Amino acid sequence: MRARSDPWFSNFLLRVGDGDEDMMEESFIRIPDDMTIAYTDKDKSKHDLIDAIFPYLQINGADSNYIISGAILSTKNENVDEINDQLIDRFCGDEKVYYSFDEAEDDKNNFYPMEFLNSLTVSGLPPHYLQLKIRCPIILLRNIDPSNGLCNGTRLICRSFQQNVIDAEIVVGQHAGKRVFLPRIPFCPSEDNMFPFKLKIKQFPVRLSFSMTINKAQGQTIPNVGVYLPESVFSHGQLYAALSRGTSRENTKVLVKSAKKFNRDEVYTSNVVYQEVLRN
């Protein structure tokens, strides 16, 4: 675990990760009051979380350090997409929309119209409708050139747009500050996916990264991290993985739609830890 200047937060994370934090009904732990965003109305609560992680976005949006210092993490792509859509609408800057080219490769009888293919959302793949703005944060979805910092999970800032390339700047890691050109590339989901045909998508290998899935954020340090949990975490160590992206108690905020209320004024959420995994 990374060194932190906040001993309480470090110890709290260790207890969460080891499954040693005090629990109610076997799996629910309390989130400290000063780390929570109150869940009242879904839309209002999301806006409150966004404002806590990206305060004064329209004023500070031109500052790359500000943009990259925050992120909101959630369990599912649909939650992430909701927040990214809200933030890109708030974000100031020249806009560019890139549409993917989709096809069903073995559809000789044209059973699957283009509109249907365009509507499909596949985990780990870029969207058909990719809305970007100058200086907005994006995350790479494939290893393109690892020796030059273009790895799956690399965060970048958009600098300019052309018809067939995105001009971007790497903003994390040893290659921070390097300008790169991202091309469209073909994506073919694995053959064990849910579709009865072979889907091929050609699109830029990026997504917005105001918000990310918890899994996508692993390995990253995020000074101002929000955790959005409209439903409980569902896999081993997932809550720890989300909370441990942050660096302090003060700059980590959690929005939970409580599945259980043990005290009217306290917030609890599930912490999934399998002790047998820790022992192996």
- Of 206, 226, 236, the closest CA to residue 27 belongs to 236
Report whether 255 contacts 37 (CB < 8 A).
yes
| pTM (global) more than 0.95 | no
Neighbours of 98 (CB within 10 A): 19
Which portions of the chain are predicted below pLDDT 70?
1-5, 191-194, 263-264, 276-280
Amino acid at position 172, single letter = V
Which pLDDT belongs to residue 144?
A: 93
Which pLDDT belongs to residue 229?
A: 94
Total residue count of the chain as it appears in this document:
280
DSSP letter for 69, please: T
* Distance between CA atoms of residues 50 and 84, nearest Å: 10
Which pLDDT belongs to residue 273?
A: 87
Residue for token digits 């000789």?
Answer: 108
Give the start-to-end residue ranges of the domains of the chain.
7-279
**DSSP three-state, residue 89:** helix
- Of 205, 215, 46, the closest CA to residue 132 belongs to 205
Cα 104–chain centre separation: 28
The full DSSP string for 109-166 is T--S-HHHHHH---TTS--SEEEEETT-EEEE-S-SBGGGTB-TT-EEEEEEE-SSEE
* Distance between CA atoms of residues 15 and 134, nearest Å: 41
pLDDT digits (tens, 9 = 90+) for 235-264: 888 999 999 999 999 999 999 987 777 766
The tokens for 171 are 């903003």
DSSP letter for 186, please: E
- Of 160, 96, 60, 98, the closest CA to residue 168 belongs to 160
- Cβ neighbours of residue 134 closer than 8 Å, sequence gap 6 or more: 93, 94, 158, 159, 160, 161
* Distance between CA atoms of residues 113 and 153, nearest Å: 32
Which pLDDT belongs to residue 25?
A: 83
